[in-house]
Amino acid sequence: MSKDRSDHLYTLIKSMKKSEKRYFKVRNKGLSKEESKYLLLFDALAEQEAFDEELIIRCNKWVNPTQFSNLKAHLYKKLLQSLKEYTASSNEDISIREQIDYIQILFDRSLYQQSMQLLQKVKKVTKKSDNLELQLEVLKWEKNLLPFTLGRNNQQRVNQIVEESNKINERITRVNILTNLTVELNAIYLRTGYIRNREDKERIQRIFDDQLPEWTVEDFSLREKLLWYEIQLSYYSFIQEFEEVYHYAQKWVDLFDNVPGSAYYLEMYIKGLNQLLNAQSRLMKYAEFMKTHRKLRELSSHRLIGVNGNLQIRLFKYSYAHQFNGYFMLGEFAKGVQLLQRIEARLESYIGMLDKHSELILFYKIACLYFGNGNYRKALKWLNRIINSDDQDLREDVHSFARIINLITHYELGNRDVIDYYIRSTYRFLLKKDDLHTFQQNILEFLKNLSREITPNQLIDRFKELRDKLILLSESKYDKRAFVYFDIISWLESKIENQSVGEVIKAKNIEKLKPSREK
């Protein structure tokens, strides 16, 4: 096992809950001294605060360095087997696959009747699960067993199996088309973010026109409808038509009368709530936003959240991201910073478990919270985690605007000596990423001119001039994306009015939020 693979073994052990570790040790109790070595390795790795393979070899005489690689591989396999057994009762798909394995075992022993009896039980469960691939696997076994379980209604059974197989294959084809399109759109979004110009818009439109057939959505299964709404929502997110995003996100969430009981549908429900919250915050639907956020947070008590690490991470990420969004809507940056300080230790432990895109967005939100509260050095710390990251091709738009805010933050700190350097660096980055548009040009030119000596009155006039230009840009189809990331107009107005950014945002949004908050 390579060093990287050894690290995988360590992180797998560290991801296990106490109950899972206890189950593993009980399951492997009573082994011989030689066989129990992998349990000793398990304990040694579990006790380490940081992964150190050489320390384990040096401090444990039972370790044979020449056999250590095989020992690690054996432990890794044993852990996966144990976790599979442990989660089978709470993960329906794993349980079904296990039953299909039993069908194979019975079939190979020529126990066809027993195999068929088990198959019929599994078939009922798979129909409820809506896992098309498993349903097709069950039908495959039904075809295999058919010659060995002949009866008077054999032709009827054949016709039924053929009909079911054709319907499922048709649905799988639709699902494949929808998921392929979702993956393609997601890849574009993860690279560039929102559309930047007419060419981006036409590119996205072509993908939809070329790949999405004319279908009657009313005939779709729940799974297909979820994928359909996700694709529609992705399209309108790209072009920043948030009313349509809100419409499809609401339809997505409305597909669930109750909180789902399976991991797949619970994950889709959480994703739907996240998309709805995004749209509600963009449209300033504060009362609806708070109600939806409450629904999201209440899911923490769901039985699957306790046993599914993926769902835990997703729920943690969305819950806090939208709590921050609520503070942005109200201009309550101080409350956002207070929350950050309370969860800082827990936050750092979760960051390493997030995907790179979620990590990037979280860093950006935290930086903006600190900036809005006037904690400029703290804001720089989080902006630098974006600027200095290795993933410069991930969400190029966020990287671009992080550099813009970085410049403004240095201006707020009075770091005039470095602003010219950062302006040149930002110019190079934006040109490289083909993201030097009117908004960015205006900001860079504005900051460049501020490095010269001007009077306080001239400074206010410069702020007003830039604000008026940006207000016009905020109505532009392609330039308005800049204002999704950072409310720079409110920052300019805070300079003009000699107020904090939070006070400006609160005053601007209070009329928008007041009617909805009183409902």
Tens of pLDDT along 429-461?
888 888 778 888 888 888 887 756 677 788 899
Q: What is the model's pLDDT at position 478?
A: 81
256: confidence class by pLDDT, cuts 50, 70, 90: very high
Q: What is the pLDDT of residue 513?
A: 67
How many Cβ atoms are within 10 Å of 248's Cβ, its own excluded? Answer: 23
Residue 160 is encoded by which pair of tokens? 């039924």
Residue 45: what pLDDT?
92
Residue 514: which pLDDT band, with cuts at 50, 70 and 90?
A: low
CB-side neighbour CA atoms (13 Å) of 188: 19
Per the listing, tokens 């189950």 go with 23
347-367: burial string, b at 16+ Cβ within 10 Å, e else:
eeebeebbeeebbbbbbbbbb
State mean pLDDT over 455-469. 87
In 373-500, alpha helices (H) = 376-387, 396-412, 416-432, 438-450, 456-473, 482-485, 488-497
Task: Give ∠ CA 179-180-185 in degrees, rounded to 5.
Answer: 95
Q: Determine the average pLDDT of the residues in 1-6.
A: 46
**How would residue 355 be classed by pLDDT, with cut points 50, 70 and 90?**
confident
Gap between the Cα atoms of 250 and 260, Å rounded? 16
**Residue reference for tokens 């057939």:** 213
What pLDDT was estimated at residue 1?
A: 41
Average pLDDT over residues 184-200: 87
Q: What is the pLDDT of residues 304-324, one digit of tens each?
A: 888 788 899 899 999 999 999
**Per-residue model confidence (pLDDT) at position 453:** 66
Mean of pLDDT values over 413-418: 87
Q: What is the pLDDT of residue 130?
A: 79
User: Looking at residue 21, what is its pLDDT?
Assistant: 93
Tokens at 8, concatenated? 């995988």
pLDDT for residue 2: 43
Rounded CA gap, 282 and 509, in Å? 12
- Please give the span between the terminal C-alpha atoms of the chain, in angstroms, as a whole number: 61
Q: Which two tokens stand for residue 18?
A: 């106490």
Contacts of 501 (CB under 8 A, 6+ apart): 331, 333, 371, 372, 374, 487, 490, 491, 494
Q: What is the distance between the alpha carbons of residues 341 and 344, in angstroms, rounded to a whole number? A: 5
Question: pLDDT averaged over the chain?
Answer: 88
Q: So what's the pLDDT on residue 497?
A: 92
* Cα gap 346→109, rounded to integer Å: 53
pLDDT grade, residue 72 (50/70/90)?
very high
Only one residue has tokens 């996966």, namely 80
Q: What is the pLDDT of residues 472-482, one digit of tens each?
A: 888 888 888 77
Q: DSSP state, 62?
A: T
pLDDT above 90: percentage of residues in the chain: 49
Q: Extract the tokens encoding 483.
A: 């204002």
Radius of gyration (C-alpha) of the chain in whole angstroms = 28
CA atoms within 13 Å, Cβ hemisphere of 252: 29
Q: What is the pLDDT of residues 329-348, one digit of tens each?
A: 999 999 999 999 998 888 88
CB 443 within 8 Å of CB 488: yes
- Cα–Cα distance between 205 and 274 in angstroms, integer? 25
Q: pLDDT value at position 517?
A: 46
Q: Are 144 and 107 in contact (CB under 8 A)?
A: yes
Q: Determine the Cα–Cα distance for residues 234 and 180; give it in Å rounded to an integer.
A: 13
Q: What amino acid is encoded at 308 in this protein?
A: N
Q: What's the token pair of residue 170?
A: 């048709």
Mean pLDDT confidence for 234-251: 93
